[in-house]
Chains A and B, each alone.
Chain A
């Protein structure tokens, strides 16, 4: 059982999410971007429609990230802080951030180089890399499930446990959707020296693989976006009701 002071600290950590705005804004952004990705994955390749959707998606991602952050801060300044107070959280200094990021960047770069070399050297590595790509959306879904569980434990927010559950269930569903592709991947597709154009059969399988990976990622974004939006809207309703019922002196 947690003592009172620990509960107080947990509430302070959860205050950033108390108004539900984070989930509402990020939910809308994720669902819209997922929708664009899904439309793009269903459009026929080489058509102007697909190119247009691809460009729109890229612009939406770039602008949307900055716009979401700006909108969230603006709404909190206008709506949350005057109602229930302002809290600033400890931020890492630039040097500290750099010290954390540099080892990750070095490890990722080494992994990329190692993968590229092994893909050129071995047909098994080529098969392994493409088979792994099939499971990328499932892995991301699992990762976010874990992130939401950690956040729920730190803040005590039930809706983050719910989001974790939804992300984990979605991971299973996406994994199920990826299974048929695995039977189409075989060593024979990747035989060769690794240079030059792909044989047509390999190119078709790769195109199907990329389309499935892309649409799985889109479906995950849509599911999580809608779930986050609904849970955020409920949290917002409760927050406003609580504020109305408990006006301080």
Chain B
């Protein structure tokens, strides 16, 4: 059943609404900070941290902890493999919707 396999081997890291939204935002911009991602996704700090850790673990997101003045700043950026994975994920979704 090659057709079914095409849909079942979808990227499980990105196939989660919150992580897909984070990847979509980071795919559009160069980088975004934690506060912006929190506001846009509506997640709590703990949830967002957990999703970012999963994306970072998969090598899709690079996280840089820095300071702006005296305030801590957590900058998140989609890596090249992350961009590739996200593009592929969107194509898969579009294919799946087109075929069903």
Residues of A within 8 A of B (CB): 4-5, 8-9, 11-13, 15, 77, 81-82, 84-91, 246, 248-249
**Pick from B24, B31, B36, B75: contact of A8, CB under 8 Å:** B24
With A82-B71, A86-B73, A249-B44 known to touch, is A9 a contact of B27 (CB < 8 Å)?
A: yes
Q: A84-B36, A248-B38, A249-B45 are in contact. List 10 more A-B contacts (CB 8 A).
A: A4-B21, A8-B21, A13-B28, A81-B33, A84-B35, A85-B34, A86-B35, A87-B33, A88-B29, A89-B30
**Pick from B24, B37, B68: contact of A5, CB under 8 Å:** B24
**Chain B contact residue count (CB 8 A cutoff):** 25
Report yes or no: A85 in contact with B24, Cβ–Cβ below 8 A: no
Closest chain B residue, CB of each to CB of A242 = B39
The B interface is mostly helix, strand or loop, or mixed, namely helix
Distance of B68 from chain A, by nearest CB (Å) = 8
B32 at the interface (CB under 8 A from A): yes
Q: Which 5 A-B pairs have the closest CB atoms?
A: A85-B36, A85-B35, A12-B28, A88-B30, A86-B33
Closest chain B residue, CB of each to CB of A4 = B21
Residues of B within 8 A of A15 (CB): 29, 36
Residues of B within 8 A of A (CB): 20-21, 24-25, 27-40, 44-45, 68, 71, 73, 75, 90
Report yes or no: A86 in contact with B32, Cβ–Cβ below 8 A: yes
Closest chain A residue, CB of each to CB of B25 = A12
Q: When chains A and B are docked, how far (Å) is the Cα of A85 from the Cα of B75?
A: 10
Closest chain B residue, CB of each to CB of A11 = B40
Residues of B within 8 A of A11 (CB): 40
With A5-B90, A8-B21, A248-B38 known to touch, is A85 a contact of B44 (CB < 8 Å)?
A: no
Distance of A88 from chain B, by nearest CB (Å) = 4
